[in-house]
Every structure is written in C-alpha cells, then in structure tokens.
Amino acid sequence: MPGNPLLSVILIAYNHEKYIRRALDSILMQRVDFPFEVLVAEDCSTDSTPEILKEYAARRPDLFHLILHPQNVGVVKNSRDARKRCRGKYIAVLEGDDYWTDPLKLQKQFDFMESHPDFSACAHEIAFVDDEGRPRSGFAFRHFTEDQICTLDDVEKGLHAGQSSTLMYKNVFLDFTEEQDRDYCACECVPDLKLMLLLTLHGPVFRINEVMSAYRYVTDSDSGSWSAYSHNNNLSLSYLKWADECVKMADKVFGRKIEFREYRIDAGYHAWVELLKKPSKENAAIFAEVFRRSKDKAAVIERIITGTLSYPVRRIKKAAAGKSR
C-alpha cells in the first residue's frame, strides 16, 4: 500500500515457531483503507521462527520489515527498538503467540481513533485459547476494567482497558525527548501496565465490546510466554515494585503525582491468596515482606478479610455457571 504509514504494527517474536504463522496470517487478512507497516522484532530465536518470518517477508516485502537481532536482547529492548522505528500516527502490537480474529479489527479501531481525537487509545474484547488454539473457558483477566472507558484512576487501581494485542494507540513517542524516552524505558515495570499508565496520562482509552483477537494462555514454564511466567510464579513483591516504578516514572517524565494506593492494597491480598493456594516458607516470606512494605496495613487487612469471606460465594457462582452451560 503506497504512502507513509498511518499505522505501525509491532509484531514481537521469540521462539514462536508453533504460533507465528497464525499471527502473521491474522495480519495479512486485515482489510483496511489506509497504509500501514509491520515491524517484526525477532529476538534471536533458537527455533525456526526467523526462517518463517523471512518466508513471509519475501512474499510481502512492502509490508513486513524484519528486525533480526544477532543476539538475544530481551523483551524490553526488543520492543523498544521496534517502537523507535515506528513511523505511524498510531501503533498496534501483536505478540507472536497471539492472533487477531476479525479482518476489520484495524479498520474499526482506526476509524474510532480518527473520529475521537481526545482518546489516547482503543482496545477491544478478547477470546482465550490454550496452547493448541482451542477455546479456554472459565478464564478471564481480573485486572480488566468493566467500564467501556478506562482512565488514569482505573490504572492506579491496577485496571487495564485490554491486553496489549487488543490496543491501537496514538504514537505518543513521536513527541518524546531523548530524556523522556530514557526515563520511560528505565521504568522497571511489566510493559502492559507501564504502557496503560502512559496512555491514560494522555487521555482515556475506549474499549469496543467486540472480540477481535485471541490470547493464548499457556502454563508450560518452558514456553517463554508471559501467561506461563505469571502462572508459575508468585509476583506479589513485583507488584509493589511496579507501583513504585510507575509513580516515579509519572513524576519524572510528566510531572504527574500519582499514588497507586488500591493497587498496593491488592498486592497484599494477592500475596495472601498465593499463600493460601500454596502454603510454603517462600510464600509466607513473600506475604510477610509485602505486608511489611504496605503503606496502609489496615486497608490490606480489610481487603484480606472481605476477599477471604467472599471466596466461597465466588466459587459457588462459578460452579453454577459451569453447570448451566
């Protein structure tokens, strides 16, 4: 498609030989009336991922632009390198193990962004699939807001508008100074949370109530996927660190004062839940450390009590919903 791209799609790939073709095909099926580019950030995979990417790039050299790292640089540097090359007015991201399911996904989001300049981004609903691409029922991200509009207040509670592969957002990085870019990248936080904070600092995020992509949730610790990592690790202490990093970044990069108070409270509750699920010295130590660092211990205790008391009710409702299907 001729002309400068209005959208830059970033495809993150690392050891995704089992999944990458479906991700690439879901990009190729997109029907749009605007020019876009695809920057494929390949992080020195040890499987056949690079060869598959070269195959697709040879077929569509006008669309796919490969960034092949000669050595592994990690997901943060890999993503940053691709992001700094984006020329589009908007950016969309697709992880190599996820895929888009609606051929009009990009067009629908582009149309919304063009007609709603006050919004920083547009997200949508997702379907969950397992390692083999089969529907995974009874699973949902608990940190997604139930509202159609996600604001900074929501992000401070740890809520998101959508998973990264559902987003199309303004390329706010085009206006970054080198200092801002350096400070943003120095923020040691899970990328989805950091990005959602950045976007809501620039405006609200809208969520289209349509499923337009699939998130592959796997638990195999050797898969290298985020879902596997989060499933197999107690991240309660990380949550506190991410909150501190986000507070620091918002202040240093944009001069905005935020607290992440409810997010920190939920970190305490999460540490408690992990201890109940898997009683161990390690999880007990994590809970003790999270509670020690809590700035509002009374609120953490209250959250633990209310959450624990409501747990049987949630289990009963979940079981009833499963039987009704």
> In CATH, what number is assigned to the domain containing residue 91?
3.90.550.10
**Mean pLDDT for all residues in the chain:** 90
Residue 222 has pLDDT above 70, yes or no: no
For residue 62, tell me if it sits in a domain: yes
Question: Higher model confidence: residue 222 or residue 133?
Answer: 133
Using the 3D structure, point to which of 198, 231, 264 is the last residue of a domain. Answer: 231
What range defines the domain where residue 290 resides?
236-324
Per-residue pLDDT band at 310 (split at 50, 70, 90): confident
Residue 206 has pLDDT above 90, yes or no: yes
Does the pLDDT of residue 242 top 90, yes or no? yes
Position 2 in a domain:
no
- Same structural domain, 158 and 172: yes
Do residues 189 and 244 lie in contact, with contact meaning Cβ atoms separated by under 8 Å? no
pLDDT tier at 58 (50, 70, 90 boundaries)?
A: very high
The pLDDT, as a whole number, for residue 140 is 62
pLDDT > 50? residue 1: no
pLDDT of residue 137: 73
Q: How confident is the model at residue 70 (pLDDT cuts 50, 70, 90)?
A: very high
Task: Summarize the confidence of residues 247-258 as an average pLDDT.
Answer: 94
Shared-domain flag, residues 166 and 288: no
Which is it for strands 121-129 and 205-216: parallel, antiparallel or unpaired?
parallel
Please, which pLDDT band fits residue 232 given cuts at 50, 70 and 90? Answer: low
Looking at the fold, whether 223 and 80 belong to one and the same domain comes out as yes
Residue 1 lies in a domain: no
Residues 255-295 pLDDT 10s: 999 999 999 999 999 999 999 989 999 999 999 999 999 99
- Check residue 217 and give its pLDDT: 80
Model confidence at 227: pLDDT above 70? no
Whether 54 maps to a domain, the answer reads yes
- Same domain (yes/no): 183, 200: yes
Examine the fold and report which residue of 179, 200, 231 is the final residue of a domain before the chain moves on: 231
Residues 298, 200 share a domain: no
19 and 134 in a single domain? The answer is yes
Least confident of 68-77, 142-151, 230-239, 278-287: 230-239
Arithmetic mean of pLDDT, 98-104 = 97
Residue 225 is predicted with a pLDDT of 54
Question: Is 100 part of any domain?
Answer: yes
* 226 assigned to some structural domain: yes
Q: In total, how many domains does the chain have?
A: 2
Domain presence at residue 70: yes
* 18 and 151 both lie in a single domain: yes
- Counting residues of the chain whose pLDDT is more than 70, the rounded percentage is 89
Task: Judge if 60 and 95 occupy the same domain.
Answer: yes
| CA distances, 194 to each of 107, 184, 248 (Å) | 26, 9, 11
Residues 295 and 193 in one domain: no
